[in-house]
Amino acid sequence: MIPSSYPAKDEIARLTARMLLEIKAVHFNAETPFTLTSGLPSPTYIDCRKPISYPRIRSTMMDFLTVTVMRDAGFEAFDNIAGGETAGIPWAALVAERMALPMTYVRKKPKGHGRGARIEGTMTEGQRVLLVEDLTTDGGSKLNFVDAIRETGARCADTAVIFYYGIYPETVPNLAAHGVTLHHLCTWWDVLAEAKATAAFDTRTLDDVEAFLHAPRAWQEARKG
């Protein structure tokens, strides 16, 4: 069912941050930093797969993501919704259901057997495809998926995520240089603001996280290795 309510962007951001905090999908720890996929340390970690286990939260988030995309990109802007393997697949399915559109998914690399396909489902030349993922940091993995979609002859100029780090200035320009617009619900700044408002973490932890968010590269370099 296509959502018909349109909360303001700042309210969507606040409520999304609140939901992520409520289910403890947000983790802060400056004393024992987390190791990211890149191998770099971080005092923050977010699990955007976790909301799939909470029906009220996942439904609300997908309503928010659907209305955000329709408001920002257009009500008839897409012909196909694609999820990135693997975290984007459930979210793409839920958005596709709401928008009454076909759903596909994109593999990170071709299968080593059968057709060797990267696109699963039906995607045709000329279709306007929305790539849906759980989150983005610097946007790098999105470009890999976008290229795979474009190789089919389809068009992909938009990607939508629940969570955008919002702390690396190169992310949006890099995506834009590739002809891709990013749509998102909330960032680390929104989560930090809601965490402060609700006292979700102690003051020292919040101060340490805020210092990281202001200068993430410097923070990581100082603690690397």
At 154-182, the pLDDT tens digits run 999 999 999 999 999 999 999 999 999 99
User: What residue numbers bound the domain in which 87 lies?
Assistant: 9-219
Domain assignment present for 52: yes
Least confident of 35-39, 52-56, 148-152: 35-39
Look at residue 110 in the predicted model and tell me its pLDDT. Answer: 78
CB atoms within 10 A of CB 7: 15
Please choose, from the candidates 57, 68, 148, the residue with its C-alpha nearest in 3D space to the C-alpha of residue 105.
Answer: 148
Task: Give me the number of domains the chain comprises.
Answer: 1
222 or 148, which is more confident: 148
Bridge partners, 143 (sequence order): none
Identify the CATH number of the domain in which residue 101 sits: 3.40.50.2020
Domain assignment present for 160: yes
Look at residue 140 in the predicted model and tell me its pLDDT. Answer: 83
- Mean pLDDT over 109-115 rounds to 63
Domain assignment present for 225: no
Least confident of 31-40, 98-107, 158-167, 180-189: 31-40
Q: Is the pLDDT of residue 114 over 80?
A: no
